[in-house]
Amino acid sequence: MIEIFLLMLAGAIGGWLMRRMGFSAKVFTHMTPTICILLFLMGLTVGSDPEIITNLSSLGLEGAILAVAGVLGSAIAAWFVAKWLDNKKPKE
């Protein structure tokens, strides 16, 4: 986990230096292609694992139900938190 922090710190220092020196950091910050490559690689890992693929039909539905429930449940709770924090903000 420490390498994640160090890489982000290095990137942040690089970005800060670029801003200070007047360079645009835009060319480095287009993340969609990188995200697509990451998900493609994750897909390759899942697709090529015979254990996951064999069990996919019987266990996939249960996993999908729990995944959707987890995402939806936490998103609904997040909506309440956002509303609450918004109401706590001093009105202008």
Partner 1 sequence: MKISFFTIGSFILGCLLGYAGLIPDGVNLTRITLYVLFVLIVQVGINIGSDSRMAAMIRTMSPKLLLVPLATVVGTFSLSAIAAALFIHRWGIWDCLAASSGFAYYSLSSIMIAEMKEPELGAALAAELGTVALLANVLREVITIGGAPLLKKWFGIYAPICAGGATTMDSTLPSISMACGQGVVFISILHGFLMDLSVPFFVTLFCSL
Number of C-alpha atoms within 13 angstroms, CB side, residue 34? 5
Q: How far is the CB of 2 from partner 1 (least distance, A)?
A: 12
Residues 6+ apart with CB under 8 A from 47: 53
Q: Which residue, 29 or 92, is less far from partner 1 as judged by CB?
A: 29
Q: How far is the CB of 91 from partner 1 (least distance, A)?
A: 17
**Residue numbers at the binding site for partner 1 (CB under 8 A):** 1, 3-4, 7-19, 25, 28-29, 31-32, 34-49, 51-53, 55-56, 59-60, 62-85, 88
Residues 6+ apart with CB under 8 A from 29: none
Q: How far is the CB of 90 from partner 1 (least distance, A)?
A: 12
How far, in Å, CA of 30 to CA of 13, rounded?
18
In contact, 25 and 15? CB cutoff 8 Å: yes
Q: Which residue, 28 or 92, is less far from partner 1 as judged by CB?
A: 28
